């Protein structure tokens, strides 16, 4: 098995700041009324997406494909950020 390749600490610090910026943008853009109206699994997936920005994780929680989750993300008004 290959050894781990670790990012330098200064890059990790930069990512942490970026993660906070992205999380705040997702929170602000979300249609919270739409999210509250969803069935529990979808609601949880949208909340997980807002917190992590991970489309794969959110799609798995919702039990849908990546593309289907993205349709939900757009309906919920949550921006994707890169």
Q: What length does the chain have? A: 82
DSSP state of 21: H
- Specify the residue, 27 or 66, whose C-beta has the smaller distance to another protein: 66
53 binds another protein (CB under 8 A): yes
Among 15, 27, 37, 63, binds another protein (CB under 8 A): 15
Contact between 47 and 23 (Cβ < 8 Å): no
Cα 26 from Cα 11, distance rounded (Å): 22
Q: Which is nearer to another protein, 17 or 40 (CB)?
A: 17
Site membership for another protein, residue 20 (CB under 8 A)? no
């Amino acid at each position: 098995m290959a050894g781990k390749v670790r990012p330098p600490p200064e890059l990790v610090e930069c990512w942490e700041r970026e993660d906070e910026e992205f999380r705040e943008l997702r929170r602000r853009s979300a249609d919270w009324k739409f999210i509250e109206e969803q069935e529990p699994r979808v609601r949880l997936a949208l909340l997980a997406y807002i917190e992590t920005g991970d489309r794969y994780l959110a799609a798995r929680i919702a039990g849908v494909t990546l593309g289907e989750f993205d349709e939900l993300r757009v309906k919920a008004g949550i921006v994707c950020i890169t």
